[in-house]
Structure 1
Amino acid sequence: MKIKNIIKIAAINASALIFAVSCSSDSDTFGLSDVTNYPVLEVLGNSPAFVQLGGSYTDPGVKATENGVVIPFETSYQGDYRGANTLNLNVADRYTAVYSAVNKDGFSATANRSIYVYKTGDFLTSIEGLYESKVVRTPSQGAVPANIPLKYVIIWKNTDGTYEVSDAIGGYYDLGRSYGTTYASRGLKLNYTAGIATVASQPNGVGVFGGNVMVSNVTVNATTKTIVIPSTWDSGYNFTATLTQIN
């Protein structure tokens, strides 16, 4: 009889232990969701957006939802070529608007919009503008077709009167290969008078690829609103970027 009682007590204690562990486990996970609904962001309005320098623009933002319910979102801006951290309609650049939202479980999602701020020069006194670019690379063209325009190269006027080109090689790696702005050939500055463009400052290599790029014999056609920029990169390639201004 004693043995049976001991077995019964042991069984009762084991059952109580299992119940306690089960209750503890339920308590630890109570209120936690097994399924999370990630934020969904729908960009409203045009993307990309185009704004003339000094003009006005109201960012339409996004519609952010979690499982169909509208939730708040935040917006930040980055000047892709000139480095601003706000949207400045008085400074020509391509700006990226970044929209972000967080769901109730702390998971986030983002969406982007490109905003081009530019001035359209008349080619009499100014070559500012937004340009489509076609690039020929020798001795090999590579993965970027020479006959498909890349969108977009920007030319802006500096306070010293020079005109700066967002990418001296026409966006071959930045736009054509979609490597981004860190692969643009930055720093090319031109003087422009009466249809003649001369180099005021050579570019600073090809972004993170580095090296030296030399630009010479830039030609301008005011009738067709095109600028041809030949360059030599000491990594073994030559580029001819033909920029065509768009309205």
Structure 2
Amino acid sequence: MNDLFFEIQNLTHRYADGTVALNNLSLKIAKGKKIALLGNNGAGKSTLFQHLNGILQPTSGQILFQNQPMKYNRKSLLALRSHVGIVFQDPDSQLFAGNVRQDISFGPINLGWPIEKVTEMVEWAMSETEVSTLQDKPIHFLSIGQKKRVAFAGVLAMDPDVFILDEPSAGLDPYYAKQILQLLNTIHELDKTIILSTHDVNFAYEWADEIIVMSGGEVIYHGDPFSIFEQEHLLLKSHLEKPWVFELAQVLKSKNVIDKIEDFPREKEQLIAFLK
């Protein structure tokens, strides 16, 4: 059990209007994984993320973080959020300080770090997300893409163990989307756990160690990034398409070029190598 960050037990969340966003959901999140969360709009992905960071409390069920039941008093939540950072899909839900540097500095300062460490981490986070030139700019003057990078920098500067990202590349142009995804790989090499939601099945298939698929507030798949795309009924239920690399790999398997699904290429370069 020591390799788990989260153990979610029979989690249900019902909003005030009666909407059941999570329905008796049970799930285990292991340390050190790159996890992609897939599902159509309204599947419950964002609600689940807000539970993992303690923003929402269960209607019923419970969440264990590092084998201890999650508590919702101020002290416990501050401790949790020093380990678990979340980047929202809408950065306006997250940004509030006067300018970029002040906003990124807010989290590290509240962790009680010495000013030298705060400055070091803020400078590093701004450099990694390429917002250093924006550091004196007021938040409300930023574009949506700039705001998303600043929100990410704010979490990055706190150096959490778990990164939770809700549609991290949405609203970014192709250059910055690719840069953020490369940064995620760099973070993972620092022994961080990353859980992100995405509608991009091609990215999820290429990047993730594990894929979780949600539908109607329930987990309908949690496993390797291959098997889900062979289960047509789950793809139909969750409105997912197959990654194009996976579809071509299926053709190669039918022609006995590839022996088994575990050998499927996961990115374009690997596929080309099979075709040479």
Provide the TM-score with structure 2 as the length reference: 0.24
Provide the TM-score with structure 1 as the length reference: 0.26
Report the structure, 1 or 2, having the larger strand content.
Answer: 1
The higher relative CO (CA closer than 8 Å, separation ≥ 6) is in 2
